[in-house]
A and B are shown apart, each in its own frame.
Chain A
Amino acid sequence: QSALTQPRSVSGSPGQSVTISCTGTSTDIGGYDYVSWYQHHPGKAPKLMIYDVTKRPSGVPDRFSGSKSGNTASLTISGLQAEDEADYYCCSYAGSYTLDVFGTGTKVTVL
């Protein structure tokens, strides 16, 4: 099972919106509504930002939103803030044999 495909990097100025794509196949993203997104600051534990495609855990700002269309999921960060600068990973369930698979990761830079 190959990793899901994400852009290596995206950037934006404070206050702008950025969208990170996560492309898979019909056997992972396209087959299930179980996409999650994690924020990872180097040296710290990853943090769950979105699960089940669109759900936000308690405490995650509503600036973060998730969506899915076909085999591609997306994470949008609105009103970009300096503390949003981090690596972001998507993850999708891929069936009872493969279980789950992460994306390649995207570095978000706040200009």
Chain B
Amino acid sequence: EVQLLQSGAEVKKPGESLKISCKGSGYSFDTYWIGWVRQMPGKGLEWMGIIYPGDSDTRYSPSFQGQVTISADKSINTAYMQWSSLKAADTAIYYCARATAAGKKGVTAFDYWGQGTLVTVSS
């Protein structure tokens, strides 16, 4: 059974750093793109970026380029999203998700999703 298990909720102060994780199981982790999606409070879904764990090829939506860093460690089937200096505006639920098709061709949809990680940034 394909599963994506995300790390737990975080409460941080502005300016702090943070790294959240997404561990995949039940499939060949290094052959499917993993993506990250943001949902700010009361708002819609936003596509942030993707990583191919097999070679760590990473691509960002222009809105998130330079704002976050996506990485992966294929040896432990885990993808990450990290911030070097959090802002209150980073308060949101962050979902990881797996691309529908295997291989590097690209992401046309996400078929399996993590349960979400709530990040709260407040002084």
Contact = CB atoms under 8 A, between A and B. Distances in A.
Partners in one complex: yes
Interface of A: 1, 3, 34, 36, 38, 40, 45-48, 51-52, 57, 87, 89, 91, 93, 97-105
Interface in B68-123: 95, 97, 100, 106-111, 113-116
Contacts, number: 69
Contacts of B100: 48, 51, 57
A52 to B, nearest CB: 6
Contacts of B95: 45-46
Among B47, B60, B63, B109, find the residue whose CB has the most chain A CB atoms closer than 10 A. B109
B97 to A, nearest CB: 8
Nearest to A48: B111
Interface residues of B, number: 25
Interface of B: 37, 44-47, 49-50, 59-63, 95, 97, 100, 106-111, 113-116
A91 B113 CA distance: 15
Nearest to A3: B44
Given A48-B100, A51-B100, A91-B47, A99 B59 contact: yes
A91 B46 CA distance: 10
